[in-house]
Amino acid sequence: MRKLQLLKNLLDIFWILSIISLIGIAIMVPFFLINGSDGLPVKIKGVEININDTFSKLVVAFTLIGGLLFVYSVYLLRKVVTYFQNRDIFNEEVIRYFNLIGKLIIASSLISNLTLFFFNMVKRNHMGLTLDFGSYDSFILSICLGLFFMVISEVFKIAKKLKEENELTI
């Protein structure tokens, strides 16, 4: 259970830092989207974006949406860990949250990466695919992580059904 408590503490730290970041983003992004960056570039995954036209503003907005989806998936994971701490492992909410977490991680990764792909293609006249192996910000790893959570959801669904059948047998 120490590992579970450590996980909960780390998720709480990430959540608090995310909320602080979101407050800063909530203040700055509308300013940038309305007024433009006036020479102050925004860097997203190593790509500098000058917010001086509608397309660049859309890139920033979609990337922000992807980030918000990821932060929401961390919020749901915190809720799952709380269920685990209460020893309520096969709760229907846990199964639903695992599936939703997987979908949110995949959606977040797709939105962020496709947005930057189109930005590079349209604004920088550079079309290419970057595969970041060995990085925690890898597109492939994010998709795998999302699929893993969806598989865990199915495993928990099967385990819950087997547990209920076992309880009926006794």
Q: What is the pLDDT of residues 43-71, one digit of tens each?
A: 676 666 666 777 777 877 888 899 899 99
Instruction: Check if the beta carbon of residue 76 is closer than 8 Å to that of residue 70.
Output: no
Residue 165 pLDDT: 86
Interval 91-138: pLDDT, tens: 999 999 999 999 999 999 999 888 888 877 777 666 655 555 655 667
Strand partners for 44: 47
Classify residue 128 by its DSSP letter.
-
CB atoms closer than 10 angstroms to residue 97: 23
Specify the pTM. Answer: 0.83
Q: What's residue 94's pLDDT?
A: 96
Q: In sequence order, what are the beta bridge partners of 47?
A: 44
Whole-number percent of the chain with pLDDT over 70: 79
Give the distance between the most distant pair of CA atoms in the chain.
Answer: 71
Work out the average pLDDT over 6-17: 94
| pLDDT for the residue numbered 135 | 59
